[in-house]
Amino acid sequence: MPRQRLRLLLRTLFFALFVVAPPLDLLRYDLSAGHAWIFGLPWTLGIDGLAAGEANSAQAAGNLLLRVFLPLFGGAALFIIIAWRFGRLYCGWLCPHFSVVELINGLMRRASGKLSLWDKAAVPQQGPDGKHIGVDGRWWAVTILAALALGFVWAVVLLTYLLPPREIYANLWHGALTRNQALFIGIGTAVFALEFLLARHLFCRFGCAVGLFQSLAWMGNDRALVVDFDAGRARACADCSAACEHACPMRLKPRDLKRRMFTCTQCTQCVEACTQVQRDEPEGALLRWVVDGANAEKQQRRRAALPAGVPPPVPISPAAREGPLPQGRTTPPKGE
C-alpha cells in the first residue's frame, strides 16, 4: 500500500477511535462517578479500603503504585522512547488534530491558493504530480463550515471523556443540554474553530505538549529517523518550484537542517513530492527517509557552513598533504 494511503487509513481509524472510545468506555475519566473507565472496566485508585478501615496504608500505597504511577510513567516512558527513535510519528500518522490540520490545509488551498492565512505567497496551482488545483473563493464557505463542524465534534467528544457519553448524546438529541454542558460545547466549538482556521500550525509547533515532548526526545538522538536531503545534488533543485516545501503540512523547509525541522511530523509528503518531481532523474529523489541520519546530518552541517555557491572541499590524501618528496625518496622521513 502506498505510504500516503496507509497514513490516511491509520489517521481515519484513529480519529474514529478518538470519537467512539468514550461511548465504549475504552478510555475516559467520569467526573460523575469519580473514577476512570479502561476497556469497559472501572479503574479506581484502590484507596477506598483505607478510608473504610479495611486496608492499611501499605496496601493503599501499593494500589496507587500499581494503578496510577506504573501505568502513567510506563506509558509515558514508552511514548518518549518511540519519539526518541522515530520523532513525531504519532503526530503525522495518528493524531486527530493533525488530521484536521491537513484537511483544512487542503480546503484553504482551494479557497485562497495558500495553505495558511499567514503565508506570504500562494503555492503553485500545479502539484508535483502534474495535477492542477484551481483556486475558487466559493471554497471559503466549505472551509469555514468544516472548521465549525470539526470544532463542534471536538468539543462534544472531549466532554464525553469527562461526563457520561449517553447523557451528553441524549441531551444533544433532545435539545436538553444543561447550562454547563451547553457552555462547554458552545465555547469549545468557537475556540476550536478559530484555532483550526487561524492557528492550527502554531498550536502543533508550540502549544501541544504531546508534540513538544516528542520533538525534544527526537532532537536528543543523532541517529533518529529523519528526512535527509542530498545536498551534493542540490543543483537538481534548480528546475523545481520548492515542491517539497509546498507539500509540507507544517509549512517547514524539508531541505533544511534537522535542528530547523524541530516540528517535523514524519508524514513524508515532502519525500513523495520530491520523488514525483525527480521521477525522470536517474539518481532518484533528493529527499529520503533515513533511519540513521547521523552521518548525513554532519555532512549537511559542513556544507551549510560554506558560502553560497562554494562546493564542498575535496578530501585530500595524507600523501598529497605532505607535498612532493625529494628526488630518490619513496617514503617520507620518520616523524614527518
Predicted pLDDT of residue 2: 87
Q: Lowest-pLDDT range, 41-55, 163-177, 271-285, 291-305?
A: 291-305
Predicted pLDDT of residue 48: 64
Predicted pLDDT of residue 280: 86
Predicted pLDDT of residue 241: 85
Predicted pLDDT of residue 96: 96
Side-chain half-sphere exposure of 132, counting CA atoms within 13 A: 3
Selected residue with higher pLDDT from 49 and 161: 161
Confidence at 126, pLDDT banded by 50, 70, 90:
confident
Distance between CA atoms of 21 and 37, rounded to whole angstroms?
10
What mean pLDDT comes out for the span 201-214? 94
Average of per-residue pLDDT values in the chain: 85
In 10 A of CB 48, how many CB atoms?
13
pTM, to two decimals: 0.80
Side-chain half-sphere exposure of 57, counting CA atoms within 13 A: 0
pLDDT over 90 for what percent of the chain?
Answer: 58
**Whether residue 135 has pLDDT greater than 90:** yes
**Whether residue 209 has pLDDT greater than 90:** yes
290-309 pLDDT tens trace: 887 554 554 454 444 444 44
Predicted pLDDT of residue 332: 45
48-105 pLDDT tens trace: 666 656 666 777 777 778 878 888 899 999 999 999 999 999 999 999 999 999 999 9
Q: Where are the domains of the chain?
A: 3-44+87-214, 222-304
Distance between CA atoms of 197 and 108, rounded to whole angstroms?
9
Predicted pLDDT of residue 291: 82
Q: Which 8-state DSSP code applies to residue 28?
A: E
Distance between CA atoms of 93 and 82, rounded to whole angstroms?
13
Selected residue with higher pLDDT from 311 and 6: 6
210-256 pLDDT tens trace: 999 999 999 999 889 999 999 888 888 888 888 999 999 999 999 98
Distance between CA atoms of 122 and 102, rounded to whole angstroms?
17
Predicted pLDDT of residue 315: 40
Q: Which 8-state DSSP code applies to residue 69?
A: I
CB 9 within 8 A of CB 93: no
CB 231 within 8 A of CB 299: yes
**Whether residue 278 has pLDDT greater than 70:** yes
Predicted pLDDT of residue 19: 97
Predicted pLDDT of residue 334: 45
Coil/strand/helix, residue 59: helix
CB 151 within 8 A of CB 193: yes
Per-residue CA distances from 275 to 3, 84, 255, 271 (Å): 13, 27, 14, 6
**Whether residue 314 has pLDDT greater than 90:** no
CB 287 within 8 A of CB 256: no
Paired strand residues for 29 = 36
Q: Grid coordinates 485562497 are at which residue?
A: 112
Helix, strand, coil proportions of the chain in percent (round to 5)?
Answer: 55, 5, 40
